[in-house]
Amino acid sequence: MRLFGNTNRLDRSAWLLLMISGLFAVSTALSNIFVNVYFWKIKNDFGIIGQFNTANYLWMAITFIFAGRLAKQVDRVITIRIGVVLLAAFYLSVLLMGKDAVNHVFFLGSFLGIGSGFFWLSFNVLYFEITEKYNRDIFNGFSGLFTSLSGIIAPSVSGWIITRINHFTGYRIIFTLSLLVFLAAVAVSFMLQRRSASGRYRLFDVLKLCRKRENHWFWVNLSMIGQGMREGLFGFLTSLLFYVATRDELALGSYLTVSSFFGLLSYFIVGRYMRIRWRDESILFGTVMLGIVSLPLLWDINAWTLAILGVGSAFFYPIYMVPLTSAVFDVIGETQETAKYRVEYVVARELALNTGRLFAVLVFLWWVIYMPTMVQLRWLVVPFSFVQMFTWLMIRKVPLLEQE
């Protein structure tokens, strides 16, 4: 296993967490993008998609606050189980509602957000506790590898099923598969050792640090808002635009597969060769290239220019994201005092991310009211492709970014 670096630095708990992360990635790769396409097919309305994602990000943020208390005062593993069960219930709800689901997008988005909030809060806390500074980049690289492998296989399978079977029956099949994969993740979670906690839940005290420029968390908080702005828009829009341009789920699945292959290659390179002293340069390089790959949209917005954006983003995103994530969690573990409040710091991080995501999707909702065409949307997509420059400018003010 030397091909993948020092895998002996990851213990059993780390591999189990990676397994849960991988199953999560499989399920979301099967269905998440296609949920947005499903709503679009029923009712061609970008506003519906915006409402669904607004509810998702809003309730994810709210859930983090309460999930943090549960993780802090009860158990992190129970929290991740609740999240996976709720995500499975989301797909069950979509299945039961059928085409009527489009009339309940705010409810379904809220359901997805609550499940995601419980899952990601617990995952990130467990990730912090299970990894250390010396193996964090390796864990992130493997997590990205599994995510990309899932993205290579699952979207093509989904696209093939949808186009070869009656379209809406095909959607029901892939939503069922996602439900089953999440149930498998629940089973794996029972193999994780319980991690109970105690102590006061002091989220407000951590949030106050976001206002103090002399504190590292001030800059981390701002960088996460910038990161969330990119995720909030690109998490659903580029793939949806590709489908609108091609009107073919199999083409969309193939596009996602190719993108994930390049993401896999990039995650392998980053996981194998990333060094702490290169983090600043790596984030900057990834940041600039993520913007450059959007520039062909200025000439035209079609399947080819969208493919350049999607494939290019998939390749350069790990170069930017892996060192950024590692640096943020190094700030949480900077001292014994900060590590003691790791749950609160993770909640604060996720609140900042979702603030950025909500801002981006609200801008999108406003934009499509006045400028709803594909040609007009490119003038939103291209500027947002450079928003991570703000993230880099903020995170580079943290001295730990390059500290061995």
* Residue 175 tokens, joined: 């939503």
pLDDT along the chain (404 residues), means of 10: 54 84 88 89 91 94 90 81 89 90 93 92 82 74 80 89 83 91 87 70 86 86 94 92 92 91 86 77 93 94 94 93 85 78 87 95 94 89 94 84 52
Measured from the Cβ of residue 372, the count of other Cβ atoms closer than 10 Å reads 12
**In this structure, what token pair is assigned to residue 393?**
């400018």
User: Which residues are registered as beta bridge partners of 75?
Assistant: 196
**pLDDT for res 3:** 45
Q: What is the pTM of this model?
A: 0.86
Contacts of residue 3, Cβ cutoff 8 Å, sequence gap at least 6: 272
**CATH match for 11-402 among 3.40.50.300, 1.10.357.10, 3.20.20.150, 1.20.1250.20:** 1.20.1250.20
pLDDT value for 326: 82
pLDDT given at position 6: 55
Domain boundaries, the chain: 11-402
